[in-house]
A = this chain, B = another copy of it.
Amino acid sequence: MRALFIGFGNVGRTIARILTLERSRFPGMSPLDDLVPVAIVTRRGGSLVDTKGIDLGLALEEMDSRGRFPEGHPGYTDITGVEAAGSLDYDVIVELSTLSIENRGEPAATHIRTALSRGRNAISANKGPIAFSYRELSSLAKSVGKKFLFETTVMDGAPVFNLRESCLKGCVVTAVDGILNSTTNYILSRMEEGVGFAEAVKEAQDMGVAEADPGNDVDGWDASAKISALANVLLDADMTPLDVDRHGIAGVTPADIRKAAESGKKLKLVCKAWKEKGKVFGKVGVEEISHSHHFSLVSGGGAVLRIHTDLMGPILITQENPDLYDTAYGVLGDLITLRQLCY
């Protein structure tokens, strides 16, 4: 199975590490032993193309040590993602670039659209294409008989989309709710411990949890993209993050946190999507959660999703303390699924 990787940041490099340096720790990865990475395209660090297969271990070493591929590397090129998706020969595109709300999920959606149009499979770790263009891209995949997988976009590799597909057969999902953005959850957890908002944001940045511009998280955009993706896939909606009733955590004060604590509650940024009279609604906002509610124990970088259906459940999926290996696994699991189905 020949793979074109778009992006080689934290997630791409963790995938490469698992498949090379740390391969012996993970015996279950054997279905991917014949994976051939035919190209790695980055936006600022150069790109590599080699139809015989790129040495992932060497690419990892170079990116880790220099922050880019050296121009002398065999197969070095300055091809763009769109060019690579449209011209190279591969079986699956693996889209690992980051979410852009202002560009409405582009150029990731175009990479995937291009790959599917050419009869290739697509895996996305970028939630933009699912949050903004799911109905179009999933129809396209269906029409060409190819797979479009994106498990890691919500709660990393924890079962969400594949759970509905494989474990809730025959159930109709009626609503979902949960805590899905780790940066805001970390900030709120630290504020409970008495740390100020600005200081908690800075801590999250220093830990590499929040971006340099934390607006995507703090203003609820990342959470809105996730609830939009969930609504589109699980509730058959056709929405975008712009349709979500979105409230961030920027206005939350230490006094708010204290007030909630006095009545035995915690403040959490809760995401929900639900059906009402045939229409699907999405909402992100701070809620007071009682100490007896499962969401109250999801602290720091944890996450939880509760799925309501017409027959089974509700059930909750909880991640205690996810890290980059969980995100990388979401992509690796999709690659294994594809390998079993198609090659």
Contacts and interface: CB of A to CB of B under 8 A. Distances in A.
A55 interface: no
Nearest to A31: B170
B315 A159 contact: yes
B297 A325 contact: no
B167 A159 contact: yes
A83 interface: no
Choose among A168, A170, A320 the residue with the greatest number of B CB atoms under 10 Å from its CB.
Answer: A170
A206 B284 CA distance: 42
Interface stretch (A103-111, A120-128, A328-336): A328-336
Nearest to A295: B297
Contact of A320 (B28, B158, B294, B310): B294
Contacts of A297: 292-294, 296-297
A117 interface: no
Given A25-B310, A297-B297, A310-B26, A333 B169 contact: yes
A163 B158 CA distance: 10
B18 A311 contact: yes
A10 interface: no
Contacts of A325: 311-312
Choose among A28, A317, A320 the residue with the greatest number of B CB atoms under 10 Å from its CB.
Answer: A28
Given A158-B312, A313-B326, A317-B316, A332 B29 contact: no
Interface in A288-323: 292-294, 296-297, 310-320
B312 A169 contact: no
A170 B317 contact: no
A212 interface: no
A312 B292 contact: no
Interface string A90-106: 00000000000000000
B318 A171 contact: no
A25 B172 CA distance: 10
Interface in A154-179: 156-159, 162-163, 165-172
23 contacts: A26-B170, A26-B311, A27-B172, A27-B310, A28-B171, A28-B310, A32-B170, A162-B167, A166-B166, A166-B167, A167-B333, A169-B337, A170-B329, A170-B332, A171-B329, A294-B297, A294-B318, A297-B297, A311-B329, A311-B332, A312-B325, A313-B319, A317-B317
Given A28-B169, A163-B163, 12 more contacts: A28-B170, A157-B312, A158-B312, A158-B313, A159-B167, A166-B166, A169-B340, A170-B333, A294-B320, A313-B326, A315-B317, A316-B318
Q: What 8 A-B pairs have minimum CB-CB distances, sorted nearest first?
A: A166-B166, A159-B167, A28-B170, A316-B318, A312-B329, A169-B336, A162-B167, A170-B336
